[in-house]
Structure 1
Amino acid sequence: MALVAPLASAALTGSSPPGATPLPDRVTDTSQLPSGWRQSEDRIVTYDGDGTGLHVLVADAAKAYKWRTAATLSEPGIDTDQWIGQSCVTASGDRAVVVYAPRQVINDQLGFQQGAFAAVVDLVDGTVTKLPQLVSLAYFNPGCGDGEQAVLSRPQGEGTQLLTVDARRASVTREQTVPGQLTSAVPFGTGIAAATGDSVVSVDRQGDVHTLARTEGTPFRLVPDAHSGLAYQVPAAGKKVEVRRVTDAGSDRLLGSGALGALAVHGTGGHVFVTGKGAQEDTPGSVLPKNWPQDWRVLDVPAASEVSTTGDLALTRVSNGGEAAGGDTVTVVAADGAAQPVGINALAPETGAAFDFRVKPEAPRRSQGAEQSPALGRSADDESTGITTNSVADPSAGLHTNSVESPSAAMRLDSADDDSPEHTTTDPDRACAVTRNDPELQALQPSPAMVEWATDLAVQGKLDVRRRSGWNGTDLSSYTPQGMFPPVALEGGGRVPAQIMLGVLTQESNLVQATSRATAGESGNFIQGGYYGNGGSVHTVDWSAADCGYGIGQVTSGMARSDTTFTAEQQKAITVDYAANIAASVQILQDKWNQLYKQGILANGGDPRYLENWWFALWAYNSGFNQPDASDAAAPWGLGWFNNPANGLYPPDRKMFLSSGYDDARTPNLWTYPERVLGWAAYSQQKTDPTTGTSGPAFTVGTWPTGKAPDAQPPHDAFCDPAANECDTSKPRKVEGSSQPEGPCQRDDFKCWWHEASTWTDCTATCGTEVLAYKATDPEPKTTSSRPASCASTLPANALIVDDVPNTVKFRVGSTNPCAGEKNWTSRGTLSFTFGSAQQNGATVYPSKIDFHQLGSGFGGHFWFTHTRVPTYTDSVVTGTWTPDRSIDGWARVLVHLPDHEANTGQATYRIDLGDGTVVEKTISQDTGGKNTWVSLDSYEFHGTPTVSLSSDTADGTGDDSIAWDALAFEPLPAEPSDATTASPSPQK
């Protein structure tokens, strides 16, 4: 039996291997370009995302395809390791319409369908205009036409809402809702063309739908040409695909065919390009391209290539090398807040020349791309705190959503002097069980080896490592992960394969328990997800919409504050301990298997040792299982339509996830949840070794008898059957009130739910099985943080240190105390906070806490940070004030400790109250170049108990720069020093 080896990235990665010649950002040998390139209007536009945003990258032929960043799109307050999306370019080549979202939206049906943001980007000057609607992240969104218009779409009730965008005006000019599920919508003539069921249809300005062409399957990738025609693809019998052209007059003609996945249609501004190696041999007619319409070209490049506006350049791969690697690659390769370099491979179809580029995203007007979208309910010009919020899908929500009740009184608060919500770092008013920003409840970030170890032992029922009392600085009593969350016996026998669980953890969280801001061995808050119910808005708190997904498996069931499924100790363990979280996640997946097994919903006979046979359990893990209605035997039940591979939300010519390369992780929204999990199980996530800078598999992959995991993939229509779930790819239903077909789901409510057993392969010959890397007796791997705490004080012995947390807070990394024997100081005072508030839905809430974070490093093993905002964003401002426990009379030097990361603002203004009401301001840069260090704020003569305050509001605050609160110290001095500061009092804020 052969292992499925991870695919190499080669020149794909944005970072060059040590010792390698750096790749250029342009064509250096212009003799390989087509003649006349200096006068060419050709432009290529692509995109790639990392934790800093989705980068829109542009290169022009006339400049030897020198790459530049037109914009970087993100939303403040969303904690994600990767922004994903897609774009299209208008006919002028001067504008791109972009859809973007955090990676996590694809794990949630509502987020996928209505949780993506949209913007118009001026490719010349970088102006970004964000649109006020949230849209679908389906692969066909957005769709550009042969002019300056584009169409965005999203499901709306039992229909589809179509939004026509005028890119020149950067606005939505028309909204229409039509019955049924329309896909691949594009401007066409004076209206819109789209695919529905087995037809290409047009939608006029009045919303009336007319058939342009009937087909044998569901059409996809519609591209208007310059002569009132429309190119499209449609699946054909024998795993083939046809390329066809229909006109507004109804003439429909076959122009080419090939293997499904071997051909693709692209286009910009009326130009149509058919890509695919050997595409010309698969097209009808003896002479090519004479039989093709004007402005159509066949390009001998890989089918999935991205094509420039005139077809002179094709991009074969685009990646920063970190899309399948989680946060570690970005953390190791890039400095704090820096974008990950992007590697680009390209071909010139005319000359056959190949080019490799390396681009460092640097948007000229980044602040525009980072401003909050108006789709989230507040414009950038709104200076009030009385915000009216919209009801929106939560684009960062987790899974297995619970119904939550109004929260009651706070369960526990931090140790601030004032325990009101305005002054405590925690959330007494929360809806989820375990609060954020409690320094005694931090989540430990595991290494990939630790995750694989815990998973391997958990599936064997042997995850019994002893967690001693106070593990990771908590107040938890001693426990074992599977003592707290015992494994459940599978119906029919057997157990969960390790690679299935590893695939789930990869898809849910990129193998991280804590925020992606924490590296392995460092602690921090758990992944935020939909904790604030804010739909991605940094200005909105909606506890009624909270999604309480916690940790590496995004455990949601039992994690609402009103839920009593778990004890408080279990909820804490799920939050802080990756091993306990994995034990709980395994338990959930086992329950899903048993639930389906009892209903007879089995894959390929139901032997659990085969990876593919977990398809239905994965389906239920992500989107749930709809139980039969005992009172209505005819009512639909089973697994939901969202994750059915036949759903038109996913391209019908897609191959197995990751089987074509790791750049599939750049666009994970093209696959269903079970497809993504099986892809990870076969090819593994990649992680970067901090010591060598090279990437490798994060965990051991499964093994397949043929050596090819795609051999066991189910066909896309495997779960589409007229008798079983009213799904038929060849006989679409009729929408009431319309003569147009819709499909393949033939129900108005899309409840084509699957509840049958299915066999699509002989698993003994084609299916994957697990490979264990760890035996049940293997000890837990160890990890050392690349950001160790600064434990001992280097200040004079008489320095009065005020730490950012009380002395009672325990700094632990797992079961160890890395500062044992090193701490030579005691905190002599308090750091208290004031959080900006807003009135929303009749209550006072604190949006400033959304982007407030803690990490277990810095001085003494803990510090706080947020991002800078302009002063008008009063609901986002955080102010921290250090106060010593005694008065100071005389001269003293004030010093602040700055952590080695997550502190880079150049406008940190400290307000020093000398104890008598006199206030002096001192502005410094918090960027220390990656070092833990003390920085002097100068010396002052004090007369009483001083305070030092630092606020996150700065004149240049855009949400890009981070500002931190760590320890502060007063060093008494015998006389007036040389660095003494004398200043006039400044007014209090």
Structure 2
Amino acid sequence: MSVLALALVAPLASAALTSPSDPATPTPGDRVTNTSQLPSGWQKSGDRIVTYDGDGTGLHVLVADAADAYTWHTAATLSEPGIDTDQWIGQTCVTGSGDRAVVVYAPRQAVNDQQGFQQGAFAAVVDLADGTVTKLPELVSLAYFNPGCGDGEQAVLTRPEGTGTQLLTVDARKGELVRQQTVAGQLTSAVPFGNKIAAAQGDSVVSVDAKGATSTLARTDGTPFRLVPDAHSGLAYQVPAGKKVQVRRVTSAGSDKLLGSGALGALAVHGNGGRVFVTGKDAEDAVPALPKSWRTLDVPASAEVSTTGDLALTSVGNGTEAAGGRKAAADIAQSVGINAVVPGSDTAFGFRVKPKAPKGTQGEEQSPALTDGIHTNSITPGDDDPSTSTTDPDRACAVTRNDPKLQSLQPSTAQAEWATDLAVQGKLDVRRRSGWNGSELPSYTPQGLFPSTALKGGGRVPAQIMLGVLSQESNLLQASSRAAAGESSNFIQGGYYGNAGSVHTVNWAAADCGYGISQVTSGMAGADTTYTAEQQQAITVDYAANIAAGLQILQDKWNQLYDKGLLVNGGDPQYLENWWLALWAYNSGFNLPSATDASAPWGLGWFNNPANGLYPADRKMFLSSGYDDARNPNLWSYPERVLGWAAYSQQKTDPATGATVRAFTVGDWPTGNAPDAQPPHDTFCKPTLNDCDITKPRKVEGSTQPEGPCQRDDFKCWWNQPVSWTDCTATCGTEVLKYQATDPEPTVAAPHPAACTSTLPANALIVDDVPNTVKFRVGDANPCAGEKNWTSRGTLKFTFGSAQQNGATVYPSKIDFHQLGAGFGGHFWLTHTRVPSYTDSVVTGTWTPDRKLGGWAEVMVHLPDHEANTPSATYRIDVGDGTVVEKTISQDTGGKNTWVSLGSYEFKGTPSVSLTSATADGTGDSSIAWDALAFVPLKGKPADTGTPSPSPSPSASASASAQK
């Protein structure tokens, strides 16, 4: 299973806000209009509220000040150039002054991968006044407690480092890392505390000095979490105690005191600038005696609190990604719905904010944490020249990107559910005709290529388990999120280039070959012979075949665990919760027993153990509190997320009504309440079974500090036992099928039909962007059948920007290079514009006809109806004798497939027209496309055409560019 499999969607805004289908509705607005509802003295208040929300354009840091009637604006939008994701996720904390935010951000696909989760997030400091962004040079963890701000201008970032934890201290005022130190064991919830760092380690709160030496401040009966410094040398923190949670305070001198307790999840501590806020509906009664600078707020425990506690946010989300992250969400900043309350009153506000980052904030510039990758051995290149081939002959994965004959069809959610329902019944035998979706595949059936595997012990995989996996892995997408349902493009993939998110790095040795809707990785490396070439291609182009292959993998995980006796609640597979361990193995694998050392750890890894301190101890079932949970998918382990999707579904917008509805059918729970069957977080943490003990952590040899809850230096607290936590007949969920084995495949109409017929004069010399041998198909259908009245007469050839990385030539420009099954003839290419200095990211395409031209002709370029929007596409027209004329146009056609004139010229030989993605304003947020081009012969010189002014030849221009 892919370690960079895709993750989650963003939350729905509250129903009190505008409909997710109409994010542009102006009310509620971006400010408080009835200022009489604001607390007294708001005009002079220093209160500030900072929140965040992510979409395909980046993670938006949103700010509102009380003195400005809480008018919202975007301080910055953080992203990394060239990363293909439809949602950025992350977290923020605000420094003591309230002037700066420290931000951790990452593409959502990072949450499913242990390395991506622990060391794959970017970090930055944002000046909340002017929007200046300073990106930090280290990658960090996505754990819920990262970043941790203190009462001043410092913050702490963490990431695992071997068997220890690396602590990175940030001076937010300077925008730089001022200290890096590695401490043995797993430290969580790290924050600045005086001139040291405070963190949770096992059952203790510890402090770490500048030399990395640790000392114990307090020892507790559980794992401390959510540490917050106060203004009087104290530290607020929480400790889980069974179904309760304690609120405690420890001082720098080691004086520890219990202040109160409540139900787990009903209380939370927050803070800023030395102020501590205890939130929860019963917080005042639960924590009656408060230290100085502490305050209780009668708001939901999960609320986000402003710097002085005068406003609390109860819901934040944009709602549009809940449809699965389609193209609109990826390229357009989505308006954010925010619900807020004034603590201690009945006053509530609803806001709708359209993110718009100030120019020049550097939020889109590449992070200095991204460095050149290491290029090592890959599969043997074929005959194609990688400098000009759209494919990757030097790739490590089996099936290349950007092969027009191997495009993936994007399914609708109905198609995904249909294929899943039939697959789990073993009846996914729909016939795919030869050449399906334009491929060169022979006829096949999905479960003919990937037969269902019988489960040991009997039964079958419940449909909702597989639908939850598909939701978690890919948002139900087979193709890139650029493709809408019924459209084709490259397959959705995780780490095909092994680039760890860098648009400038190709590292084939680190490639993660995850393909399609179930992110099939096993058998998809170039040298892997698990699958035949036909099977690998079917996994790539066909969502149904991909689901059949993914189901096989999940069935294999069940059988593997069954053989070792790892059964859940008795092992009846009809119950959804009983798939917990198989889901664990599906995501992070299963470590087999050692053949030579019977005492060696084996089983399911620590990363997905719910007891892992990477996840907050007071979390509830994923999505049980609403879709706000999906803003921070990193708060839950993989099995928890899959069960959440199975119980609550993804969301989609009904195109007929505009209403938000479930994307697929959910499971059925006898109590009507899925959380009733959720296992306690310590279910897989037993001292005698896997060296895991929340209350009695193991001490590391040579250290007085605990390691918990995993007591091993190497964190191999692997689970390898059967487990039972509920009576499934009374509480567990079961499958609900929407489609029966005889139901036909649902149909879907592509929203961007191809321009099949040429409207140019019959004597037009058309040069398409792909050869005539490329077939345009949508599944089994041929939408252009009988309509094509033209033949391509020439070639479009690309040159790709390269880089030297560790002695090898690689082509980073292909990372952000894409194809779509639309436009003229059903295919076009696209990328984002780049400034010319990014030579390794620049793509240039040149159309050349197969004959010479003499005399006057008009040059026409076809522009697709979507994905092309740069205002500065500069075409260089060589009239055949070396004279070059430049013509700059906008590629934005207003949503139409259309031919646009580049002017008329007198040709004197074999002409060519080139278009490069390098533009003066190439910020990476404009798309540029290559579709068909045509030469239309004219009789004589047109009256309105003057003699073209020559520009430097292409070679001279290239030389000048290379000298920059």
TM tier, smaller: over 0.9
Q: Give, in angstroms, the shift of residue 981 of structure 1.
A: 4.6
CA distance in structure 1 between the aligned counterparts of 2:184 and 2:917, rounded to whole angstroms: 48
The reply on whether 1:243 has 2:247 as its aligned counterpart is: yes
What amino acid maps onto 1:89 in structure 2? V
CA contact 1:405–1:562 (8 Å) conserved in 2? no
CA distance in structure 1 between the aligned counterparts of 2:18 and 2:60, rounded to whole angstroms: 15
- Name the residue aligned to 1:660: 625
CA distance in structure 2 between the aligned counterparts of 1:367 and 1:900, rounded to whole angstroms: 31
Aligned identity (percent) is: 79
CA contact 1:347–1:354 (8 Å) conserved in 2? yes
Which deviations, in whole Å up to 9, do the C-alpha atoms of 1:90-136 show, x marking residues without a partner?
A: 01111100001111111111110001111111111111111110000
What amino acid maps onto 1:141 in structure 2? N
What amino acid maps onto 2:100 in structure 1? R
Q: Give, in angstroms, the shift of residue 622 of structure 1.
A: 0.2
CA distance in structure 2 between the aligned counterparts of 1:527 and 1:812, rounded to whole angstroms: 19
Q: Which segment drifts farther, 571-580 or 688-697?
A: 688-697
CA contact 1:15–1:342 (8 Å) conserved in 2? no
- Name the residue aligned to 2:5: none
CA distance in structure 1 between the aligned counterparts of 2:405 and 2:153, rounded to whole angstroms: 55
Distance 1:323 1:724, change over 3 A: farther
Find the partner of 1:148 among 146, 150, 153: 153
- Name the residue aligned to 1:60: 65
- 2:117 aligned counterpart, secondary structure: helix
Q: Give, in angstroms, the shift of residue 150 of structure 1.
A: 0.2
CA contact 2:873–2:890 (8 Å) conserved in 1? yes
Note the 1:528-927 alignment, pairs <5 A.
Answer: 528-927=493-892
Which deviations, in whole Å up to 9, do the C-alpha atoms of 1:242-298 show, x marking residues without a partner?
A: 1111110111111121100000000111111110112112224xxxxxx31222111
The reply on whether 1:360 has 2:354 as its aligned counterpart is: yes
CA distance in structure 2 between the aligned counterparts of 1:955 and 1:471, rounded to whole angstroms: 42
Find the partner of 2:258 among 254, 258, 266: 254
Unaligned residue ranges in structure 1 (runs of 5+): 1-5, 285-290, 378-387, 392-403, 414-418
- 2:459 aligned counterpart, secondary structure: coil
Distance 1:568 1:726, change over 3 A: same
Unaligned residue ranges in structure 2 (runs of 5+): 1-10, 958-964
CA distance in structure 2 between the aligned counterparts of 1:823 and 1:64, rounded to whole angstroms: 60
What amino acid maps onto 1:246 in structure 2? V
- 1:906 aligned counterpart, secondary structure: coil
CA distance in structure 1 between the aligned counterparts of 2:102 and 2:705, rounded to whole angstroms: 29
Find the partner of 2:273 among 269, 273, 280: 269
**TM-score for both structures, normalised by structure 2:** 0.96
CA contact 1:367–1:958 (8 Å) conserved in 2? no
Find the partner of 1:225 among 225, 230, 237: 230
Find the partner of 2:458 among 493, 518, 527: 493
CA distance in structure 1 between the aligned counterparts of 2:783 and 2:18, rounded to whole angstroms: 35
Q: Which segment drifts farther, 586-595 or 23-32?
A: 23-32
Distance 1:621 1:826, change over 3 A: same
The reply on whether 1:46 has 2:44 as its aligned counterpart is: no
Q: Give, in angstroms, the shift of residue 663 of structure 1.
A: 1.2
Q: Which segment drifts farther, 500-509 or 522-531?
A: 522-531
Find the partner of 1:374 among 357, 361, 368: 368
CA distance in structure 2 between the aligned counterparts of 1:937 and 1:903, rounded to whole angstroms: 16
Distance 1:660 1:226, change over 3 A: same
- Name the residue aligned to 1:288: none
Q: Give, in angstroms, the shift of residue 979 of structure 1.
A: 4.3
Note the 1:200-215 alignment, pairs <5 A.
Answer: 200-215=205-220
CA distance in structure 2 between the aligned counterparts of 1:919 and 1:731, rounded to whole angstroms: 77
Which deviations, in whole Å up to 9, do the C-alpha atoms of 1:943-989 show, x marking residues without a partner?
A: 11110000001111111111100011111111222442533221122
CA distance in structure 1 between the aligned counterparts of 2:863 and 2:414, rounded to whole angstroms: 31
CA distance in structure 2 between the aligned counterparts of 1:842 and 1:592, rounded to whole angstroms: 40
Find the partner of 1:283 among 283, 287, 299: 287
- Name the residue aligned to 1:400: none
Which deviations, in whole Å up to 9, do the C-alpha atoms of 1:784-825 show, x marking residues without a partner?
A: 111111111111222111110111100000000111122121
- Name the residue aligned to 2:433: 468
- 1:953 aligned counterpart, secondary structure: coil
- Name the residue aligned to 2:313: 315
CA contact 1:49–1:323 (8 Å) conserved in 2? no
Q: Give, in angstroms, the shift of residue 461 of structure 1.
A: 0.2
Distance 1:852 1:480, change over 3 A: same
Distance 1:981 1:226, change over 3 A: farther
CA distance in structure 2 between the aligned counterparts of 1:756 and 1:868, rounded to whole angstroms: 54
CA distance in structure 2 between the aligned counterparts of 1:420 and 1:18, rounded to whole angstroms: 46
What amino acid maps onto 2:103 in structure 1? V
CA distance in structure 2 between the aligned counterparts of 1:655 and 1:870, rounded to whole angstroms: 46
What amino acid maps onto 2:260 in structure 1? G
What amino acid maps onto 2:248 in structure 1? R
Aligned residues: 944
CA contact 1:799–1:971 (8 Å) conserved in 2? yes
CA distance in structure 2 between the aligned counterparts of 1:115 and 1:530, rounded to whole angstroms: 12
Note the 1:50-449 alignment, pairs <5 A.
Answer: 50-237=55-242, 239-284=243-288, 291-328=289-326, 331=328, 337-365=331-359, 368-377=362-371, 388-389=372-373, 406-410=378-382, 419-449=384-414
Distance 1:739 1:545, change over 3 A: same
- 2:64 aligned counterpart, secondary structure: strand
CA distance in structure 1 between the aligned counterparts of 2:758 and 2:533, rounded to whole angstroms: 37
CA contact 2:800–2:843 (8 Å) conserved in 1? yes
What amino acid maps onto 1:325 in structure 2? A
What amino acid maps onto 1:112 in structure 2? F
**TM-score for both structures, normalised by structure 1:** 0.94
CA contact 1:182–1:195 (8 Å) conserved in 2? yes
- 1:257 aligned counterpart, secondary structure: strand
CA distance in structure 2 between the aligned counterparts of 1:688 and 1:859, rounded to whole angstroms: 29
Q: Give, in angstroms, the shift of residue 695 of structure 1.
A: 2.0
CA contact 1:17–1:694 (8 Å) conserved in 2? no
Q: Give, in angstroms, the shift of residue 736 of structure 1.
A: 2.4
Distance 1:357 1:70, change over 3 A: same
CA distance in structure 2 between the aligned counterparts of 1:296 and 1:376, rounded to whole angstroms: 40
- 1:172 aligned counterpart, secondary structure: strand
- Name the residue aligned to 2:932: 967
CA distance in structure 2 between the aligned counterparts of 1:522 and 1:743, rounded to whole angstroms: 50
CA contact 1:14–1:342 (8 Å) conserved in 2? no
Q: Give, in angstroms, the shift of residue 365 of structure 1.
A: 2.7
CA contact 1:160–1:178 (8 Å) conserved in 2? yes
RMSD: 1.5
- 1:549 aligned counterpart, secondary structure: strand
Q: Which segment drifts farther, 638-647 or 249-258?
A: 249-258
- Name the residue aligned to 1:384: none
- Name the residue aligned to 2:4: none
- Name the residue aligned to 2:7: none
- 1:704 aligned counterpart, secondary structure: coil
CA contact 1:9–1:661 (8 Å) conserved in 2? no
Q: Give, in angstroms, the shift of residue 12 of structure 1.
A: 5.3
Q: Give, in angstroms, the shift of residue 406 of structure 1.
A: 2.5
CA contact 1:32–1:351 (8 Å) conserved in 2? no
Distance 1:813 1:209, change over 3 A: same
